A and B are shown apart, each in its own frame.
Chain A
């Protein structure tokens, strides 16, 4: 079943923070986060595994709440380059690498 992402869209001014949520009705093994700019391929951001810790690099981090089967992506002090559509991809079984993607969250950063 497709994970649910919220919000569907958000507009921020440069420097503001954003949180994007991804929820599943099924038990998850891992959550993968991607960013896709218009007309381009999805770009891998990070992966969170069951039992793993919160991850992050620079100003983008994410967490995975196993009890709630929910992951959140945190973007702090957003930059213009952060604009795009963010997708979470969920994996139900260890190692099967079949990702089920949410419908995406469109993030627009304005100067």
Chain B
């Protein structure tokens, strides 16, 4: 049973560029949440997707957007990258109505 997968594992971008991160949820899971984890901090909730719609959003600017596909996989897009966007981006999947979220290995983004 495959767990949550994310791609790419690492990414280096420069300020002002745009980036797309990808997530495939655990088999049978239909809900995807994205988190940003800065070095030495706990994960911070960005947003959550269910039934191809953004259901909830954390305190992140509109530069952060996402998408969920019919197969439940998801993308996170970040426009106009800032140095402060450098972080580990984690995707977590779950089953609607169930509480437990399972995290993927993350994508480490470095903005120069």
- Give residues of chain B (58-105) contacting chain A, Cβ–Cβ below 8 Å: 58, 90, 94, 97, 99-105
Distance between Cα atoms of A49 and B100 in the complex (Å): 11
* Binding site secondary structure of chain B: loop
- CB <8 Å contact, B101 and A44: yes
Distance between Cα atoms of A32 and B35 in the complex (Å): 15
Among A34, A49, A104, contact of B99 (Cβ-Cβ < 8 Å)? A49
Q: Let me know if A27 is at the binding interface, CB within 8 A.
A: no
Tell me how far the C-beta of A90 lies from the nearest C-beta in chain B, rounded to whole angstroms.
Answer: 11
Distance between Cα atoms of A96 and B48 in the complex (Å): 9
Tell me how far the C-beta of B109 lies from the nearest C-beta in chain A, rounded to whole angstroms.
Answer: 14
Q: Knowing A97-B33, A97-B94, A98-B48 are in contact, say whether A103-B42 is a contact too (CB < 8 A).
A: yes
Tell me how far the C-beta of A33 lies from the nearest C-beta in chain B, rounded to whole angstroms.
Answer: 11
Distance between Cα atoms of A70 and B28 in the complex (Å): 32
Q: Let me know if B17 is at the binding interface, CB within 8 A.
A: no
Among A2, A47, A49, A97, contact of B42 (Cβ-Cβ < 8 Å)? A2
- CB <8 Å contact, B99 and A40: no
Determine the chain B residues whose CB is within 8 A of the CB of A32 once the complex forms. Answer: 99-101
Determine the chain B residues whose CB is within 8 A of the CB of A41 once the complex forms. Answer: 4, 90, 103-106
The interface of chain A, by Cβ under 8 A from chain B, is 2, 30, 32, 34, 40-44, 47, 49, 87, 89, 91, 95-104
28 contacts between A and B (CB under 8 A): A2-B42, A32-B99, A40-B105, A41-B90, A41-B105, A42-B90, A43-B103, A44-B100, A44-B102, A87-B42, A89-B42, A89-B43, A91-B99, A97-B33, A97-B94, A97-B99, A98-B48, A98-B56, A99-B33, A99-B45, A100-B45, A101-B42, A101-B43, A101-B44, A102-B42, A103-B41, A104-B40, A104-B41
